[in-house]
Structure 1
Amino acid sequence: MDERTRKPNSRDGSPFRAIRAIDYTVIFARDMAAMRRFYEVVLGFPLLRELSPNWIEYGLGNNTLTLARPSRTAADAPTPAGSASLQLAFKVSAAEVDQCADELVRQGVALLSPPTNQSFGHRTLFFRDPDGNLLEVYAEI
């Protein structure tokens, strides 16, 4: 019940309440070659499968991270270059945040924010992928 209006909450019977996790995440790649190199070589994500040159999947725990060329959204206006379309956060241990920062710098990736302890209890590191998406490596501290 919505206590303010005393009406039944429309979400109570929603079939979407059955959703428990994100199964896969799709990143629409503007530059597939650069994005594939970044996620496979720089970040070292394990290739799960390549269904076509336009659909490449990486296995990350219980999630599949996919690089794809737009199909259903191909007619959409493109995200302007230099603009993030999404933010992804990858959880590691506190020591690994610094190790990831060192590896990114070694690979020539510019850090937007070096490893930093945040007041809300995370150690964070921010950088971008070749398409400009915001990526975060973090640990709970």
Structure 2
Amino acid sequence: MTNEQTTEPTPRARWPFHAIRAIDYTVIFVRDMAAMRRFYEDVLALSLLRELSPNWIEYGIGPNTLALARPSRTAADAPMPAGSASLQLAFKVSAAQVDQCADELVRQGVALLSPPTNQSFGHRTLFFRDPDGNLLEVYAEI
């Protein structure tokens, strides 16, 4: 046998990352913890799971956890520059709730980037930003 025949790559079926079946935590590294906390608790009304410290706050969204954190021990990165989104989150609701969410965001003083819109790919979408500038979407399949 040649060396080429004996050093085959690991078959994908045994790839260790195949064990990943869900996203358990989504962590948003924040610039302004107080503003982000107010937004996610008061505007989006997410359920507080726990506050591990003033630098780490967790919210429950279905079976998943959304955490707000200041970059620290594992990621001491500099915050994203203002005006730069570092992520987009999409929250799925019913079609009628897309419009209700838009109305509530406007009532709370949140600027809409795109009002409720029926998209050609079969979604009704609404886009806005959180206080750190991250892009948020509320959508429904239509």
**Given the two structures, how large is their TM-score scaled by the length of structure 2?**
0.90
Matched, 1:126 2:117: no
Higher helix fraction (1 or 2): 2
Shift of 1:60: 0.5
Contact 2:30-2:79 at 8 Å conserved across structures: no
Cα deviation code 1:26-79 (max 9, x no counterpart): 0001100000000000110010111111110000001000000111222x2331
SS at match of 2:125: strand
Number of residue pairs matched? 134
Counterpart AA for 1:107: Q
Structure 2: segments with no counterpart, 5+ residues: 1-7
State the identity %. Answer: 86
Contact 2:116-2:126 at 8 Å conserved across structures: yes
Structure 1: segments with no counterpart, 5+ residues: 1-6
**Given the two structures, how large is their TM-score scaled by the length of structure 1?**
0.91
CA distance in 1 between partners of 2:86 and 2:12 (Å): 28
Runs of 4+ in 1 over 4 A off after TM superposition: 7-10
Describe how 1:23-42 pairs up with structure 2 within 5 A.
23-42=24-43
Contact 2:106-2:112 at 8 Å conserved across structures: yes
Q: How much is the aligned-residue C-alpha RMSD, in angstroms?
A: 1.3
Describe how 1:1-141 pairs up with structure 2 within 5 A.
10-71=11-72, 72-74=74-76, 76-141=77-142
